[in-house]
Amino acid sequence: MSGLSPAGGRAALCLSLSLSRRRGALRGFAAGPQTHFGFQTVTEEERREKSERGGGGGARSVQPPGLRAGARLGVNQVFESVAKKYDVMNDSMTLGIHRLWKDVLVRKMNPSPGTQLLDVAGGTGDIAFRFINYVRSVRERQLQRRLKHHQNLSWQEIAQSYQEDKSPLGGSQVVVCDINKEMLKVGKEKAQDLGYSEGLSWVLGNAEELPFDDDKFDVYTIAFGIRNVTRIDLALQEAYRVLKPGGRFLCLEFSQVSNPLLSRLYDLYSFQVIPVLGEVIAGDWKSYQYLVESIRRFPPQEELKAMIEDAGFFKVDYQNLNSGIVAIHSGFKL
């Protein structure tokens, strides 16, 4: 494959890549600890850097194409001018099912009005918008129930009810954090188009080093983003730090399929169809090749669960969607 790291021009396609990460800076001419990039080896530094510059970063269900010929493959460069094509690619690759997955995530979260949500790597705002919709409807029902009790009120009670908080969101807030500016821009535009104004903030930040104080958020979500984080353990530790006691960590990510027949079909679809779609729709084969490979490299459900527990979360469990194509991991800071 072209566009490899300068460190050694190696493209290791075997799973010894995972070992290389742990061995640190002793490989060939590498400047820092090696990590994987799809089925290749690059240094951690490069992988992260690519996330911060121009292109994409954090978590996307699809790596947006944007690779120029001869340019280095990097998590971010893939995102450069294609933040706009993200949603289209998501829909075509997953046949629109990604919307259902995100719906399940928010339903599982079951947020109540007043919840503070941090959506990391949530670039185009899918989770954030769903959260706002959900909280709005819960809030409406709450206000309606309160109204029902308002029969035969005394003047004093009526005066009191005017002072009550009747805001449509009940104090809920979403902070969308992403490492990539383009994605945030697309998200902001989408929010404007769809009419979301209240309770949204957009922050540029790195999942491994969040620009927030401790004990700030009720829920931390990362949908299709943790796969692109270079040091997952750091991201998990940061998640633990910014959550309030009792707060919930939710992670939606591609995972390993358990069913062998489905696994074969899935592999076929992933390696044959998706890169082609990438070429046709977004004009980039390589990024989608990277995407599919990174899905295969990602730790399976149990391993990710162990990593989440290591970060300090309790009551960690996971729910497979579509028999393992996607899994939702959940943990609590207790």
130 lies in the site for other proteins, by CB under 8 A: no
User: Which residue stretch of 11-19, 44-52, 260-268, 316-324 sits at the interface with other proteins (rule: CB under 8 A)?
Assistant: 316-324
Q: Considering the complex, what minimum distance in angstroms separates the CB of residue 23 from other proteins?
A: 23
Closer by beta carbon to other proteins, 167 or else 319: 319
Q: Using the minimum distance from each CB to other proteins, give the nearer residue, 188 or 319.
A: 319
Among the listed residues 102, 108, 74, 119, the one whose alpha carbon sits nearest the alpha carbon of residue 226 = 119
Residue 113 or 278 with smaller CB distance to other proteins: 113
What CA–CA distance (Å, rounded) separates 184 from 179?
9
Which residues in the 7-26 window bind other proteins by CB under 8 A? none
* Contact between 55 and 66 (Cβ < 8 Å): yes
Our CB check for other proteins shows the closer of 225 and 247 to be 247
The rounded distance, in Å, linking the Cα atoms of 142 and 194 is: 24
The region of 25-33, 90-98, 110-118, 228-236 touching other proteins under the rule CB under 8 A is: 110-118
Listed in sequence order, the residues at least 6 apart from 216 whose beta carbon sits closer than 8 Å to its beta carbon are 116, 118, 242, 243, 244
Structural tokens at position 226: 């943790």
Residue from 186, 248, 290, 324 in contact with other proteins (CB under 8 A): 248
Quick check: 315 binds other proteins (CB under 8 A)? yes
CB atoms under 10 Å from CB of 190, counted, come to 17
> How many CB atoms sit inside 10 A of residue 142's CB?
13
The answer to whether 120 touches 192, Cβ cutoff 8 Å, is no
Binding residue for other proteins, selected from 59, 93, 316, 325, defined by CB under 8 A: 316
Of 7, 305, 307, 325, which lies in the binding site for other proteins, with binding defined by CB under 8 A? 305
Among 34, 40, 115, 270, which residue interacts with other proteins (rule: CB under 8 A)?
A: 115
Determine how many CB atoms are found less than 10 A away from the CB of residue 107: 11
DSSP 118: E
User: Cβ-count burial of 163 within 10 angstroms (0-12 exposed, 13-18 middle, 19+ buried)?
Assistant: exposed
Contacts of other proteins in 50-89 (CB under 8 A): none
Q: Tell me the closest approach of the beta carbon of residue 237 to other proteins, in angstroms.
A: 10
Residue 247 Cβ vs other proteins, minimum distance, rounded to whole Å: 5
Residues in the chain: 334
- Segment 195-234, which members bind other proteins (CB under 8 A)? 218-219
CB 35 within 8 A of CB 7: no
- Smallest separation (angstroms) from other proteins to the CB of 305: 6
Identify whether the C-beta of residue 1 lies closer than 8 Å to the C-beta of residue 40: yes
Nearer to other proteins among residue 183 and residue 327 (C-beta): 327
Residue ranges in contact with other proteins by CB under 8 A: 108-112, 114-115, 218-219, 243-248, 301, 305, 309-310, 312, 314-319, 330, 332-334
